[in-house]
């Protein structure tokens, strides 16, 4: 969320930003609520002050009569205080609900537009698009021929959108994980396997809505837990409520986790095969940074994503995400879209976001500079290293050969133990 004071001082800017992002939030109503809230706060504090004053006097009362008289006075004050406090709480809750709906500010260079059609292509990969002298297959057909994925079994066990990886696809998943983690270790990231569930207040701190008709999240009945949609949730939640030393920043983590998404309302749209599934494995990068570090850190995360896909010899383009497509927390977001021959178009495979202090403020993650008074909110960033299901699509489809085999890129061979996937026997 944004700083309440900042909103009051920059009402027009915030309204314009909401419009650019397609966020229908009543900013004026928030401003009005916030102003009455402040006035009420002063009133409550004054009542508290008087209540405290009276309470202190009771201990020093000279005799029983005076004591009783003051107690009565205290009782009356308490009633008034409680009433005022209740009004304040109601105002604060309503203002807070609105505040949490206001999206982050947007980077001045982010393209302005209501949806992904306004995304701006920045550059393309050194790997050029493949030229096939045969009719390329899509990953579903390839997986079928090579016996790599069992969609039917997935559907019968857990429903549409679930799948079993099989044979070399399993080795590929492990190889991709290992490749990503090794690369990130070389970059100074601390590797973590994270919980696949998280408390709902962590979810909403990161910016997800755990329950409700629009939710993308599976929640666990009779508990405060949900299945995570990304390790961004657990990694970001690690330091909730904590104050870190400035000199310990930036902190870099890579998380290995499963991701679960209901994909409510997304059926039929590019839903074939592994593209839009309810569960996948992902290696995620997460950074806790000082404000002055976050711009460069976003470039760094994007650079790592590019290098990972360069190593996989997969063609892609990098886009600067338009304001309307940023979601709530991101200040700026770069996506890598890999070429997917089966669809004949680019499909999102990774995403790197600078969320500035938006998540940190919700999760209350601060930093302290040695020798300076007070604390400030740090910046959080996240980026996909490898989302296995989508990386598999790009890998299979781009590296397919005329003879029906898949050539494995050099970087995965040490982990896979072979240079080619072929039909068995």
Distance of closest approach, residue 58 Cβ to RNA, in angstroms: 4
How remote is the C-alpha of 341 from its chain's centroid? 29
Q: Take residue 417 and report the two structure tokens written for it.
A: 């133990």
Q: Is residue 188 within the footprint of RNA (CB under 7 A)? A: no
Q: How big is the site for RNA, counted in residues (CB under 7 A)?
A: 29
Of residues 66 and 410, the one with the C-beta less far from RNA: 66
Using CB under 7 A as the binding rule, whether residue 59 contacts RNA is answered as yes
Catalytic residue among 257, 294, 351, 389: 351
Distance CA 388, CA 396 (A): 12
Closest to RNA by CB, 261 vs 379, is: 379
Tokens representing residue 390 in the block: 């989508």
- For residue 287, which of 193, 373, 352 has the smallest C-alpha distance? 352
Comparison of 69 and 121: residue with beta carbon closer to RNA? 69
Q: How far apart are CA 205 and CA 377, in angstroms?
A: 14
Is residue 111 within 8 Å of residue 316, measured between CB atoms?
no
Q: Check residue 258 for interaction with RNA (CB under 7 A).
A: no
91 binds RNA (CB under 7 A): no
Quick one: the chain helix, strand, coil %, rounded to 5? Answer: 45, 20, 35
Identify the DSSP state of 163: -
Give φ, ψ of 182 to 5 degrees. Answer: -60, -45
Spell out where 158-315 has E strands.
164-165, 190-193, 197-199, 225-227, 243-245, 251-260, 279-289
Please report whether residue 424 would count as binding RNA according to CB under 7 A.
no
Nearest approach in angstroms of CB 364 to RNA is 9
Q: Is 77 in the site for RNA (CB under 7 A)?
A: yes
- Owner of token pair 């770069």: 334
Name the 3-class secondary structure at 157.
helix
- In the annotation, is 276 catalytic? yes
Has 348 been annotated as catalytic?
yes
Rounded to whole angstroms, how far apart are CA atoms 251 and 300?
A: 13
Pick the closer one to RNA by CB: 117 or 373. 373
Interface positions, 145-174, toward RNA (CB under 7 A):
none
Judged by CB under 7 A, the residue of 10, 16, 36, 55 near RNA is 55
Among 11, 42, 153, 369, binds RNA (CB under 7 A): 42
Please state, as a whole number, how many other Cβ atoms lie within 10 Å of the Cβ of residue 40: 18
Q: Could you tell me which residues come within 8 angstroms of residue 183 by beta carbon, excluding any fewer than 6 positions away? A: 304, 307, 308, 311, 385
- The reply on whether position 247 binds RNA by CB under 7 A is no
Cβ proximity to RNA, 54 vs 336, nearer residue: 54
Are 235 and 286 in contact by the 8 Å Cβ rule? The answer is: yes
User: Which residue matches tokens 């599976």?
Assistant: 218
The answer to the question of residue 209 lying near RNA (CB under 7 A) is no
Q: Which of 10, 16, 78, 80 binds RNA (CB under 7 A)?
A: 78
- What minimum distance in Å lies between the beta carbon of 357 and RNA? 12
Task: Determine the interface stretch with RNA among 74-82, 135-143, 319-327, 330-338 (rule: CB under 7 A).
Answer: 74-82
**Least spacing, CB of residue 93 vs RNA, in Å:** 11
Angle between helices 168-186 and 294-311 (to 10 degrees): 140
Task: Provide the 3-class DSSP secondary structure of residue 420.
Answer: strand
Kindly indicate which of the ranges 70-78, 140-148, 163-171, 394-402 contains the residues binding RNA, using the contact rule CB under 7 A. Answer: 70-78
Tell me which residues in 1-40 interact with RNA (CB under 7 A). 4-5, 38
Binding to RNA (CB under 7 A) within 340-379 occurs at 366, 370-371, 373-375
Which residues 262-281 are close enough to bind RNA by CB under 7 A?
Answer: none
Q: Which residues bind RNA (CB under 7 A)?
A: 4-5, 38, 41-42, 44-46, 48-49, 51-56, 58-59, 71, 74-75, 77-78, 366, 370-371, 373-375
> Which residues participate in catalysis according to the annotation?
261, 276, 348, 351, 390
């Amino acid at each position: 969320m944004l700083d309440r004071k900042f909103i009051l001082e920059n009402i027009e800017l915030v309204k314009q930003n909401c419009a650019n992002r397609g966020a229908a939030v009543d900013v004026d109503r928030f401003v009005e609520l916030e102003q009455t809230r402040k006035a009420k706060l002063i009133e409550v504090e004054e009542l508290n002050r008087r209540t405290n004053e009276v309470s202190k006097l009771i201990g020093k009362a000279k005799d029983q009569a005076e004591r009783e008289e003051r107690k009565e006075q205290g009782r009356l004050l308490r009633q008034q205080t409680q009433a005022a406090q209740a009004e304040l709480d109601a105002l604060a809750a309503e203002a807070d609900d609105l505040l949490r709906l206001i999206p982050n500010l947007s980077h001045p260079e982010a393209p302005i537009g209501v949806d992904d059609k306004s995304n701006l292509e920045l550059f393309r990969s050194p790997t050029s698009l493949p030229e096939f002298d045969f009719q390329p297959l899509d990953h579903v057909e390839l997986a079928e021929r090579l016996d790599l994925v069992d969609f039917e079994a997935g559907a019968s066990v857990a429903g549409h959108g679930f799948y079993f990886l099989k044979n070399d696809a399993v080795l590929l998943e492990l190889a991709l994980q290992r490749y990503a983690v090794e690369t990130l270790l070389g970059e100074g990231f601390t590797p973590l396997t994270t919980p696949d569930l998280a408390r709902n207040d962590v979810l909403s701190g990161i910016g997800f809505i755990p329950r409700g008709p629009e939710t993308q999240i599976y929640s666990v009945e009779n508990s405060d837990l949900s299945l995570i949609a990304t390790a961004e949730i657990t990694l970001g939640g690690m330091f909730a409520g904590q104050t870190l030393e400035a000199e310990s920043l930036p902190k870099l983590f890579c998380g290995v986790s499963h991701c679960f998404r209901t994909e409510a309302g997304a059926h039929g749209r590019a839903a074939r095969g592994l593209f839009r599934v309810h569960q996948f494995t992902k290696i995620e990068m997460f950074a806790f940074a000082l404000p002055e570090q976050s711009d460069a850190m976003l470039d760094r995360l994007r650079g790592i994503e590019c290098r990972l896909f360069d190593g996989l010899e997969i063609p892609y383009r990098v886009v600067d995400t338009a304001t309307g497509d940023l979601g709530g927390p991101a200040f700026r977001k770069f996506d890598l879209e890999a070429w997917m021959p089966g669809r004949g178009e680019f499909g999102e495979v990774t995403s790197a976001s600078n969320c500035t202090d938006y998540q940190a403020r919700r999760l209350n993650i601060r930093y302290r500079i040695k020798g300076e008074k007070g604390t400030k909110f740090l910046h959080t960033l996240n980026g996909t290293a490898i989302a296995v299901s989508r990386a598999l699509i790009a890998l299979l489809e781009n590296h397919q050969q005329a003879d029906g085999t898949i050539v494995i890129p050099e970087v995965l061979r040490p982990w896979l133990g072979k240079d080619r996937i072929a039909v068995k026997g």
